[in-house]
Amino acid sequence: MKKQFIKSQSIGNDFIIFEDLNNELHFTKEEIARLCDRHFGIGADGLMIARPSQKADFTMLFFNPDGSQAEMCGNGIRCFAKYLYDDCLTNKTKILIETLAGIREVSLSIDNDKAMEATVDMGEPVFKPSEIPVKLEGDEIINQSLEIEEERVKITCVSMGNPHCVIFVEEVVSAPVKTLGPLIENSAFFPKRTNVEFVQVINRNEIKMRVWERGAGETLACGTGACAAVVVGVKNELTERSVRVYLPGGNLNIKWLETNHVIMTGSAEEIFRGEINF
C-alpha cells in the first residue's frame, strides 16, 4: 500500500502528517514506530493524522515515535494548522482543531499565501495531581522533593493537555537530561509517564530549556513543555507571565494570560513531501 505524506518541522521538532478525511487510515503501533524510525522509515519526533471533526474544523491525532498515542503536541499543532491552510483544506486563518486534550484554536500569519507562523491557545494549565496525573500527596506539586534511584530533585508538575515534570537547574547545558529524564518519565509516580523539562532561568522574561519527551527521548524542542516551563516559573516566582523560551532547535514566545489561558507563538515549516510503502 502506498500513502502520500508531508514532513514538517517547528524549531527542530519534525513530524509526519497524513491526510485521512475518510477515516480509512489505521496504523498499528509498530507501523507508526517504523515510519518514525530515522533508519528504516521517514524519521520524525511524531506522526499526525488529519481527520474530520464534528466539534471543530478538523481532528488531529498525534502519536509519539514509539507508536504510543499522545493527547497533544504544541509544536506539532502549528505544523498541522499550516498544512491544513497551505494544502487548501481550509481558507480560515483561525482554525479550531480537536485533540485528545480538547479543542485548540490556532491563528496563522500568512505571507504570499503560505502560513509562516502560528499562535496557539494552549488552554489552561492543570495543577491537580490526579488530573496530571502524578501519584504524590498535596493539592499541587510545587517545588516538591522527589527521590529517583537515590537522586533527590525538586520538581513541579503540571498538565498542558499532557503531563509535565519541570526541574530548575543552574546550567541547562550540563543538566542530566539523558540519564534522569528517562528515569522520571517511567517512574511509578507518573502512571501515564511524563515529559521532563530541565529549565535554566536567565532573567524574569527569558529561560533556556532542554526536554526529555515521553515516548521520544530528548528532542530539540517541545511546545507544551515550553508552556509548562513558563507557568511553573510563575508558580515558583521565578519568571513573569510573558517569557521567551530558548530551546536547542529555536525559540518560542509564551504568555500566561490573566484569563488563565496559555498562548504560544512560533514558526512552522514544510520540509518535503513524498510517498511511502507500508
- Residue 112: CB partners within 8 Å, gap ≥ 6? none
Cα separation, 53 vs 99, whole angstroms = 10
Contact at 8 Å (CB) between 90 and 84? yes
For residues 228 and 254, is the Cβ–Cβ distance under 8 A? no
Q: CA angle, corner 214, sides to 30 and 261, nearest 5?
A: 125
Strands 13-19 and 46-51: what pairing?
parallel
> Which amino acids are annotated catalytic?
73, 222
Residue positions counted in the chain:
278
- The CA–CA distances, whole Å, from 54 to 51, 83, 100, 108, 181 equal 10, 20, 14, 22, 38
